[in-house]
Amino acid sequence: MIVIVIAGVAAYLAVTPAPTATPGKLNYTDLIVQPSKVESGKPVTVIAELANVGGSNVTETVYLYVNGTAEASKSVTVPPGESLNVTFTITKSAGTYVLSVGPLSKVLTVLPAIKNPDTIIVATIGEPETLDPAWAYDTASGEVIFNVYETLIAFHDGKTDEFDPLLATDWYVSPDGLTYAFKIRTGVKFSNGNPLTPEDVEYSFERAMVQDRDGGPVWMFLEPLLGIDSTREYNLTDPTIAAKVGHMIDDAVESNSTHVVFHLKRPYPPFMAILAQTWSSILDKEWCIEQGDWPGWKDYVQWVKYNNPETPPLQEKMMGTGPFKLDRWEHGVEVVLTRNDNYWREPAKIKTAIIKKVDEWSTRKLMFLSGDADIVYVPRAHIKELEGVPNIRVYKDLPTLMVSPAMFFTFDISSDSPYIGSGKLDGNGIPPNFFSDVNVRKAFAYSFDYDRFIEEALLGEAIRPANPIAKGLPFYWEDAPKYEYNLTLAEEYFKKAWGGEVWEKGFSLTITYNVGNLARKTACEILKYNIESLNPKFKIYIRAVEWPTFLRDMVKSRLPIFLIGWLADYPDPHNFVHPFMHSKGTFAAWQHYSNPEVDELIEEGISTVNATKRAEIYHKLALLYYEDVPSVPLAQPVDRHYERDWVKGWYYNPIYPGVYFYPLSKGY
């Protein structure tokens, strides 16, 4: 048995051939795209990982397909049991691509090339009125100022009630709220190399109170520090009185080698927020004096020469401690800021910031889409044009602390106004006191179609406050009475106005709006159409003017009606009722509106700490506002911010006057 089996096996082995090797076979194990998101024109590395799972060498051509089309190929030989990486390098223009090697696919996103990588360009409407911090009270000016100058404290990121140290390192507030002491940061220099001192800080605040221009922001210093709204409440032509006021200013702010101290006349809860705004910018005393500005306290009478000047002393000059320096202001074109490389903190990430004045939306849109503008102002009427556009980032539904716009009536129009026609109630003009009749004001208030305005001009992205106290402020009254669109009532009040003469004789006037502001243009058109529909003798003309012209005419009481917005200086109702209603307030003073009861309530409101009592006061003020109709809020919009998606570092603060460039950079 055994022999037979062995012989059989031997015979089998002798006739069976050796086994044949299996063919080579490539497996595609992984596809790597580095980076998977890249800027246009920059190289992309594509790596295909292959493994030979067969038993012999394999030679094969490996193809890279881009959106289904062969882009590149390589011939490879892989021994059995080994792996190999095949690498391709490609560059593509902006777009989305599907990259395929064998059965594997990955998506590559190529972003537009970043234009001007060291520069942020903002395309907007209007331009600054001034570069003087004590004079500036508009957002266009403030946007430039808070990038060049700095304050003692700053708002903490997007907060309006929390503060960070800036030029002050720490501070103390006395228990009675009457003394604020700030320790001034050492080692800080102005961009000309001069060191910052506590004396510069004292000078900056006293200079502002010395200047105290009509319609400016300095009332926010005078009210808490001196207990007045204007230095011109005193007869400054009397040297004795002028010296008294000079001492008041000097005593209100004091400094020593390390600290600056403010002495308040009364507790003033918003004082810290006031110190964080542009009018509290710190200037170089030595440099200011070299520019011919107020020389300080040589005596206590000469300061009057610098009070309420015709033009700002620092109209087009700047010397701050901030992250940027003024390079140039080309009127009607742009403001250019360059990085302060000797800034006391880390230098800004970008080298240049440019704020371009581009009034035409179509031009701004083209700049934005082509990457020639990084941040752009988009009129609400045009927001749908940018919906779904690639490479654009949009922040929506940003809450605001503003009333914008409101419609103001001037009670005593300047006789040199070019907007009142004949200056008489004769059908060809209006008399300067036309709006002093409450019936005229009510007729205009009932003539405006508020819902249509919010839908057409703001695409529904707004609410309508009944009075100046905007939603989001303490003591906002949701159900306060307000005027609604009602042409029947409008006609009734027009017939009562001026004893019936308005209806009988008619009138003619011109309303202006600032160039490029389509929402305000729409408001003017709605008002014109509705009022002219009531009586063929009523004529309203609309004229677009440049922003500085609009501001000058408004301050000089030349505008019969003006539409303008109000952004919070600080988040307290006093900051709204005072400019809108107090006889010495920003708007009310230009309007020549005065109601002693209103003034008394406003002063009581800011002096009262008890919240219940304050609520009662602002409730009464809301009712008086409705009765007197000195102005009418048209909307409180929610905001939007548009930027290219290569912009990094932007954050929203509802109280900022514009773009703060310091944290911004560009990249993906």
Flag whether pLDDT at 5 surpasses 50.
no
Mean predicted confidence (pLDDT) in 281-291: 98
Strand, coil or helix: 208:
helix
Residue 364's pLDDT band, with cuts at 50, 70 and 90, is: very high
Give the number of other Cβ atoms within 10 Å of residue 161's Cβ: 13
In angstroms, the CA 357 to CA 364 distance is: 9
In angstroms, the CA 42 to CA 535 distance is: 67
Mean predicted confidence (pLDDT) in 67-72: 95
Q: Would you say the pTM of this structure is higher than 0.95? A: no
183, 170 Cβ separation under 8 angstroms: yes
584-626 confidence digits (pLDDT tens): 999 999 999 999 999 999 999 998 888 999 999 999 999 999 9
In angstroms, the CA 168 to CA 152 distance is: 5
Amino acid at 131: L
* Residue 525: φ, ψ to 5°: -70, -40
For residue 210, what is the DSSP state?
H
Residue 424's pLDDT band, with cuts at 50, 70 and 90, is: very high
47, 86 Cβ separation under 8 angstroms: yes
In angstroms, the CA 456 to CA 523 distance is: 10
Share the mean pLDDT of the chain.
95
Nearest alpha carbon to residue 185 among 153, 145, 155, 146: 153
Segment (H or E) for 444: helix 438-447
619, 628 Cβ separation under 8 angstroms: no
pLDDT of the residue at 609: 81
64, 72 Cβ separation under 8 angstroms: yes
296 to 182, 202, 206, 209, 293: CA distances (angstroms) = 21, 10, 8, 12, 9
520-533 confidence digits (pLDDT tens): 999 999 999 999 99
Cross-sheet strand order for the sheet of 83-90: 26-34, 44-52, 83-90
Any long-range contacts for 368-372 (C-beta under 8 Å, 24+ apart)? 368/123, 368/392, 368/642, 368/644, 371/112, 371/113, 371/114, 371/115, 371/644, 372/115, 372/121
Residue 517's pLDDT band, with cuts at 50, 70 and 90, is: very high
High-pLDDT (> 90) share of the chain, %:
94
253-278 confidence digits (pLDDT tens): 999 999 999 999 999 989 999 999 99
Nearest alpha carbon to residue 406 among 136, 637, 129: 637
Beta bridge partner(s), residue 88: 46
55, 22 Cβ separation under 8 angstroms: yes
Nearest alpha carbon to residue 170 among 260, 77, 60: 260
pLDDT of the residue at 22: 86
Residue 13's pLDDT band, with cuts at 50, 70 and 90, is: very low
16-25 confidence digits (pLDDT tens): 555 567 898 9
